[in-house]
């Protein structure tokens, strides 16, 4: 389960689904879907398993995608309360 905290200190729990994206280590060479940067085996990547999309760990690519996903998942968990 994901856990999100807000200013009041309370946390909101939400489910983690099988197709959710996650940070991992590249198992083979590829290219960032956003900027086209070469990703080497062993680099940190943000990975979307359903579409097999890979993003490098730079601020404008993987970090942005990860933050966007966490925000969207949080919004969904609050909406379904």
Asked whether the whole model's pTM tops 0.85, one would answer: no
Query: For residue 45, how many C-alpha atoms fall within 13 Å in the half-sphere facing its CB?
Result: 26
Percent of the chain with pLDDT over 90: 64
**What pLDDT, on the 0 to 100 scale, is given for residue 18?**
84
Contact criterion met (CB below 8 Å) for 36 and 15: no
Instruction: Output the average pLDDT for the chain.
Output: 85
Give the C-alpha separation, 51 to 19, whole Å.
9
Q: Could you tell me which residue, 78 or 61, shows the higher pLDDT? A: 61
If you ran DSSP here, which 8-state letter would residue 76 be given? H
Q: Which residue has the tokens 């900027």?
A: 35
pLDDT of 5 strictly over 50 = no
Convert the pLDDT of each residue in 19-35 to its tens digit: 899 999 999 999 999 99
């Amino acid at each position: 389960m994901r856990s999100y905290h807000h200013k009041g200190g309370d946390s909101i729990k939400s489910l983690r689904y099988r197709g959710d994206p996650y940070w991992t280590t590249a198992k083979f060479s590829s290219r960032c879907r956003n900027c086209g940067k070469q990703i080497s085996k062993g680099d940190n990547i943000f990975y979307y398993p359903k579409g097999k999309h890979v993003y490098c760990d730079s601020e404008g690519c993987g970090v942005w995608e990860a933050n966007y996903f966490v925000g969207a998942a949080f919004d969904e968990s609050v909406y379904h309360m």
